[in-house]
Amino acid sequence: MRQTLEGTEISDRGPEVQSTPHSEQKEADLFLASFEALPDRVKETLGEEERRMLREINEKHNVTFEHSLGVATTVDAVWPVFADDLEREGVRYEDMIRSASLHDVGKVALPGCVLKSTLKDEQLTSIFMDFIRQQPDRATDLLRKKGRLSDKRTASDLSQDALTHMDHRDVLPLDFMYRDNPPAMAEIIQSGLDPQMSFMDALRFHEAKSGELIKQSNIPNHELVSVLAGVHHNYDARSEVNYQQDGQSKSLSVVAAEVLHLADVLKAMTTRDQYKPTVKADEALEQLAHMAEQGVFNRDVTQRFVQAIRGK
């Protein structure tokens, strides 16, 4: 058992597994090695409070920790291209690096069964088929709410091909996925998640939690950093980001959030992930450009971002 940032004790290694001085030292050494590999300016920006939070991320999930450092390194690399725009808005280099480093800190609040899920696509397909058979009305309702099914059709009407290629994590509720796993269900409830939410909705919970945890911290300019980290999945690339700082209402254009969003997606594509295979950097950049053409990302920001990465 260990203490998480929000003060809840959660064991993600099993009740009988205890940390030993040797394993703790190994974790500390690995953390230090990863941290020391960062660009000097990034290291100088991240103070003891930020490092403490990064250690918690590393203890909870090393993959998220390495990803977070990768996003910070990416933001550092593209900073010269966007510096003038961001500084005019009052966003400093330090704000962007802190936001990038801690954008996923909310994942420490997720239960291990969500954050460290090892369920494969074929297993999820089987679970989803069971869900449709056992709870057809609920499955139909959820599919309609997710926009996967018209009001005139039911879950049973879906073809095998449609069922196979559907993102089951975005529909399957936690209480069905883990219905035969009481420890996982207990952890889900303990973490404060609604057992009826989908797996992906539970995973997305970390975004708001990241902003909340940073806002409660003592890191410099934490109000702005918390807002940026809390919207790092900037789903509407045309929206301004509104926030409160020192009691005053302020807003940011799309640039700051979009740079963070692009860095996050690029590193997610090109580094190890238990949910999907990785792709090469050139292919990932091409995908970002393509998604910008489809309106997923802001076109101008994406073009400048891609050119900055390719020009390294």
Domains and CATH numbers, the chain: 18-110+208-310 (1.10.3210), 115-192 (no CATH)
Share of the chain above pLDDT 90, in %: 57
Under 8 Å between Cβ of 244 and 74:
no
* Burial bucket for residue 80 (CB in 10 Å: 0-12, 13-18, 19+): exposed
Residue 277 predicted with pLDDT over 80? no
> When comparing pLDDT for 84 and 19, which is higher?
84
Q: What does the pLDDT read at residue 160?
A: 77
Least confident of 38-52, 92-106, 288-302: 288-302
Q: What is the pTM of this model?
A: 0.83
CA proximity to 134, closest of 181, 195, 175: 175
CA proximity to 219, closest of 89, 105, 110: 105
Residue 122 predicted with pLDDT over 50? yes
Least confident of 19-28, 35-44, 178-187, 262-271: 19-28
Greatest mean pLDDT range, 99-103, 165-169, 292-296: 99-103
* Burial bucket for residue 61 (CB in 10 Å: 0-12, 13-18, 19+): buried
> pLDDT for 201-239, tens place per residue?
998 888 888 989 999 999 999 999 998 888 776 555 455
Strand, coil or helix: 198 = strand
